[in-house]
Structure 1
């Protein structure tokens, strides 16, 4: 090919391939010498499968339960750690897991004769999942499982409390067999971690209006003879200190990852006085936002060493010597490790990926210093020459502030790009969700779907993102819809000004909080005309209706910090909402929405379309696609295919690119 126009390049990466590789392994854990985790199954209704890797299985991972079993739960909307395992000397392991279909905890004995079906351990959840469970912790010596119970009551009230679940299944029909471990306290809790001597337990707690990355408390209590935790007191933390994780080391040392220095660093905490010593004082993050209860960024080893995830703008695996503060990183091309670590003797296993590889189960042997892939092996479905080569960038935003981004230029092994004076590539600015989150630098076939066709992508870690310290996160305090929009625009303008991107063919897209940023960018006065179109997925569009009962309990007070207390600054809720300024939208857009979304319900999208209709006139070309059975984020293969193809169709139409295999998309006014 010679001088092929951007956007016209043929690509072997189709939407079906993107869908087949959507999602990643999660919630890795050890059960004796075995490893277990959950894995996505887009072709099976988007369920999460339980996966088992035996030490003598020849490296072949087994899917344990068939569809429709779905190892997920809906605690705090996003779910929490959904399973726990007990290694037994005979009969194989006992696995407890939550099923998304009925929100109950079930027990599974995979090696039982005849393959016994799972049996329930908890009562029926009731209509709408009134009882939900997560962060399961086994205590076989006590004949029970500890977990977080989330109870939804009449009138919309929600309570969460740590509970003991009998392993004999008695609570399945007799709820009185459940034992609440503590009196009802803060609105949000993690499951207590019992000390090695069995005398004390620690857990994290926080309450509205704080989010867990804003302020949490480390609780400690004694385990009484009746099996309840007594003498509950706060050991560390508070409104301006976020503790992301707390663990007991095998020798009884209490470890906590706190951002009291402005960065999430590992500390040793005195369980009597609360005095904390920073074990590795660095301007790096050793944790991120606790979006799912049970995420784990560190794990102590029997040797006294600590496996930690750490970095700035990325998370890599290291081994920390708490006595010296020395930190040695695991070798390999893995720039990202998920918050899920398992320790077996001197071995550390995690879920890792890199810019040219997908997520794999990777193990580090601390005695040899070598890493190896155990499962979920990356295999290139196409020639890697079709993958983009990411470039980490820092651009200057408003007031001279730094804005972090990753740029994925168009890449194709056969196409010859036009000379810069003839044509520059179109670019799509990707705004991540959260917004207190981050876009990792890993191989993503959805990005490659666009770049291999000649459309560049730039992911922006705007102010408010994790990975760059507390001060960077707090740039978004009361500035949501301002800082995120300006930072995305700064990256778009920088790419255009330097000649990397065509200034007349810029687009913006995002989902959830990223959908908010995309919509706010299309309606913002300071970004008018910057973007030629936008893709908005399961978004927040009307702030005033997204507080309290307008969303799920976990984020129902999130806007207090992102925007300001609604009773004190009601004008901000009105003035920043895209629905208020729908008349400013001049760029075509694609709106994608799951109809079962309880976090950003369809009413948000409906309000924007209603506001557009009220404006009269010829209207803005747009498409609104809805997906029954999909919640917050898309999991089903057929949904992902439609969403990806429709997004490409929008860009081809707006950017004036013709190609014979262009997907169809009807834009209405």
Structure 2
């Protein structure tokens, strides 16, 4: 582009970040673990049909994709999935078990050979599914979560802790799978086995609770024949969320509980007492959307690797004797809930506003008495290293902001102003802004490099990610703001941020938009039916009809979620109707783009179809694009290209922008 700076209207700046580039960098490494002294993890391949592969970092430092296409290492337990693999080192090479997405079977794999199925296929409903495997070499078994459909409906399902033989004898025989728990709880996590092999611990919860509302920590004895006996709840309950549990080397239990209002770490002593290990008003846990997320991992030295923080997360080493944390040095400002340890080594997955998620290793030094230990050397990237695909001068420069909402409540947000080193806007022009509402809604938007955001900011369109009331990372009280207030607090908070940006002269009041997927799609649609803040909106795979969604149109995991977000349907039927955009399509006047995966079982296409039927005949410019082969959240590169270009075209038409080289989205009227 040279040194010459052009003066061009916002939204028409030429950018090297095109939709293909953003799509190729969508997704990030997940589910890191050790196989002996090797680091392994899963990684997305958007240009290979959106599959996820298993990646291995060998002892000489090279990365290799362990499984070729079409193998897809991804579980569908609770639809959102969970930890899909486990591995053990052996003299002859690593032994790995993994879940394959297409058939949801558990496979055994040894590099150099072909994967061998360990579990059978069931023709009933959603079949048999597996997650959070733990290899139990002493018994030649893998212990994991089994999700089994008992009928055709989404709620015809049971979940138990189960043991699968490693010899393949259960590949065609469901009866060869040993069930370890009694099915008394609707939801369970994978078992953690004590160092002496005599006890197992796992988490469980039941409808209508979600795991961030309340979970139970269950301990059972492992009998000589490998059965579990005397299962008993030792911690947790309806109003206490335990997010993770692990065994310490001395046979005590370390767990993350929000009993004080924040997920903090505790040690359950042999006598049943609980010792807080680091009492702080910050989070050492999070929402258990997927089975097997790990916010902490124990080291041989007795130290604990932790992902912790308030709003943002750091990787630190906690000395449980002193409560002191030493954070890893490095550029990362956000770590995913994926930690593993081997000896004194820790691997995690970190990112920053200048770098996408990458696999990070930290070596911990020996602990000195009374200190938090030393970090032997700076943390370093060992996998999925971020490589700038364009000059990073084109990345946005985000601001961490706190706004005031109704009744003076604080609202956390990340503001990404338009930014392009080669372009300026005319002096008096204010930029258009798009409010991004995250999914969940019990989740949050992390402050990390996202080329989909850069796609807009580098063209002169600002983005504001709002961590509205109900978001995680700020304690239980902030999370509980959304209790029975979904469609109210989230909508108010997004609007408050948008209007504050306009009032302070950051954004053009007449050119505000909102967009979001899943629960964020709901917030977007409700915003368009209940406010006049936005000139248009982009709605991705949304909830639009609460009554039907709560009456069997979604999967089992979230089928009772609305009882806390909205209220019990039987008691509040009018509230369900009053808040649903599908009931108030006649109120929409702003143009919108609706995007949906046809294979989505969480927010099914029927929600969009009913909504569109009620808009028919009304003069509202809109477009609906449905994608075959896509589920809840888009994974294929070609889909994401179409989505970004269609979204930009919507804003161009509504805001009067002229982005070069973008196909025009046809809007029905």
TM-score by length of 1: 0.97
Q: CA deviation at 1:227?
A: 0.9
Q: Name which of 58, 63, 71 aligns with 1:61.
A: 63
Map of 2:620 onto structure 1: 620
Q: How does 1:322-333 map to 2 (within 5 A)?
A: 322-333=320-331
Map of 1:584 onto structure 2: 587
Map of 1:229 onto structure 2: 228
Q: CA deviation at 1:271?
A: 4.9
Distance 1:634 1:129 in 2: 21
Map of 2:194 onto structure 1: 195
Q: How does 1:226-625 map to 2 (within 5 A)?
A: 226-273=225-272, 275-367=273-365, 368-419=376-427, 422-524=428-530, 527=531, 529-613=532-616, 616-617=617-618, 619-625=619-625
Q: CA deviation at 1:658?
A: 2.1
The answer to whether the Cα contact below 8 Å between 2:124 and 2:152 also exists between their aligned partners in 1 is no
Map of 2:83 onto structure 1: 81
Matched, 1:38 2:42: yes
The alignment partner of 2:239 has SS state of coil
The alignment partner of 2:336 has SS state of strand
Structure 2: 5+ residue runs without aligned partners? 366-375
Matched, 1:24 2:28: yes
The answer to whether the Cα contact below 8 Å between 2:218 and 2:231 also exists between their aligned partners in 1 is yes
Q: CA deviation at 1:175?
A: 2.1
The alignment partner of 2:560 has SS state of coil
Distance 1:2 1:383 in 2: 18
The answer to whether the Cα contact below 8 Å between 1:82 and 1:97 also exists between their aligned partners in 2 is yes
Deviates more, 1:59-68 or 1:622-631: 59-68
Distance 2:142 2:658 in 1: 59
Distance 1:660 1:38 in 2: 36
The alignment partner of 1:546 has SS state of helix
Matched, 1:640 2:640: yes
Deviations 1:432-481 (A, max 9, x none): 00000000000000000000000000000000000000000000000000
Distance 2:126 2:573 in 1: 33
Map of 1:14 onto structure 2: 18
The alignment partner of 1:378 has SS state of coil
The answer to whether the Cα contact below 8 Å between 2:205 and 2:211 also exists between their aligned partners in 1 is yes
The alignment partner of 1:317 has SS state of strand
Structure-2 change in CA distance of 1:455 and 1:513 (3 Å): same
The answer to whether the Cα contact below 8 Å between 1:102 and 1:129 also exists between their aligned partners in 2 is no
The answer to whether the Cα contact below 8 Å between 1:219 and 1:234 also exists between their aligned partners in 2 is yes
Structure-2 change in CA distance of 1:125 and 1:65 (3 Å): farther
Map of 2:661 onto structure 1: 661
Distance 2:189 2:400 in 1: 35
Q: CA deviation at 1:548?
A: 4.0
Q: CA deviation at 1:120?
A: 0.3
Structure-2 change in CA distance of 1:155 and 1:101 (3 Å): closer
Distance 1:270 1:131 in 2: 37
Deviations 1:376-409 (A, max 9, x none): 1111111111000110000000011000000000
The alignment partner of 2:526 has SS state of helix
Map of 1:117 onto structure 2: 114
Q: CA deviation at 1:663?
A: 2.2
Q: How many pairs does the alignment contain?
A: 653
Distance 2:417 2:632 in 1: 29
Distance 1:342 1:234 in 2: 26
Distance 1:118 1:3 in 2: 57
Distance 1:270 1:61 in 2: 41
Q: CA deviation at 1:272?
A: 4.8
The alignment partner of 1:643 has SS state of helix
Deviates more, 1:176-185 or 1:283-292: 176-185
The answer to whether the Cα contact below 8 Å between 1:648 and 1:663 also exists between their aligned partners in 2 is no
Q: CA deviation at 1:174?
A: 2.2
Distance 1:479 1:644 in 2: 31
Could you list the structure 1 runs, at least 4 aligned residues long, displaced by more than 3 angstroms after superposition. Answer: none
Map of 2:371 onto structure 1: none
Q: CA deviation at 1:217?
A: 0.4
Distance 1:7 1:37 in 2: 38
The answer to whether the Cα contact below 8 Å between 1:429 and 1:460 also exists between their aligned partners in 2 is yes
Q: CA deviation at 1:607?
A: 1.1
Q: CA deviation at 1:128?
A: 5.1
The alignment partner of 1:553 has SS state of coil
Structure 1: 5+ residue runs without aligned partners? none
Distance 2:33 2:270 in 1: 26
Distance 2:168 2:141 in 1: 10
Structure-2 change in CA distance of 1:659 and 1:438 (3 Å): closer
Distance 1:77 1:247 in 2: 24
Map of 1:150 onto structure 2: 147
Distance 2:332 2:612 in 1: 43
Q: CA deviation at 1:286?
A: 0.7
Distance 1:19 1:155 in 2: 35
The answer to whether the Cα contact below 8 Å between 1:151 and 1:158 also exists between their aligned partners in 2 is yes
Deviations 1:209-251 (A, max 9, x none): 0000000000011111221111111101001000000001122
Q: CA deviation at 1:369?
A: 4.2
Deviates more, 1:361-370 or 1:157-166: 361-370
Q: CA deviation at 1:127?
A: 5.4
Distance 1:39 1:214 in 2: 30
The alignment partner of 1:222 has SS state of strand
The answer to whether the Cα contact below 8 Å between 2:267 and 2:275 also exists between their aligned partners in 1 is yes
Backbone CA RMSD of aligned residues: 1.0
Distance 2:104 2:79 in 1: 12
The alignment partner of 2:101 has SS state of coil
Structure-2 change in CA distance of 1:369 and 1:321 (3 Å): farther
Q: CA deviation at 1:14?
A: 0.3
Deviations 1:105-153 (A, max 9, x none): 000010xxxx321000011143554100000000011110001000011
